[in-house]
């Protein structure tokens, strides 16, 4: 049975999967990659107003088979409040 791995990158940190999550189909791996993106954004914000998040699926041979990318851009329309 083939295995798939999800690597994530938030522009600061690349995390390569250690295989602890058992993903056995391309569709299951794609769904896991897409599901990871909003969680990554929640964990990283509000650290900046521009960031690109990526989740890449690798097969058991290390080949990239799917990549999902989400770009988050926040822009103040007024003078931001003092912190």
> pLDDT for 24-66, tens place per residue?
899 999 999 999 999 998 888 766 788 999 999 999 999 999 9
How large is the average pLDDT for residues 10-35?
Answer: 90
Dig out the tokens for 32 from the structure: 């896991």
b/e burial code for range 55-70 (CB count within 10 A of at least 16 → b): bbbbbeeeeebbebee
d(CA 83, CA 41): 21
Residue 46, pLDDT score: 67
């Amino acid at each position: 049975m083939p295995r798939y791995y999800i690597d994530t990158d938030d522009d600061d940190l690349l995390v390569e999967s250690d295989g602890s999550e058992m993903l056995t189909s391309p569709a299951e791996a794609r769904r896991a990659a897409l599901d990871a993106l909003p969680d990554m954004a929640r964990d990283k914000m509000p650290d900046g107003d521009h960031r690109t998040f990526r989740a890449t699926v690798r097969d058991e041979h290390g080949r990239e088979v799917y990549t999902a990318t989400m770009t988050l851009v926040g822009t103040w329309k007024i003078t931001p409040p003092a912190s």
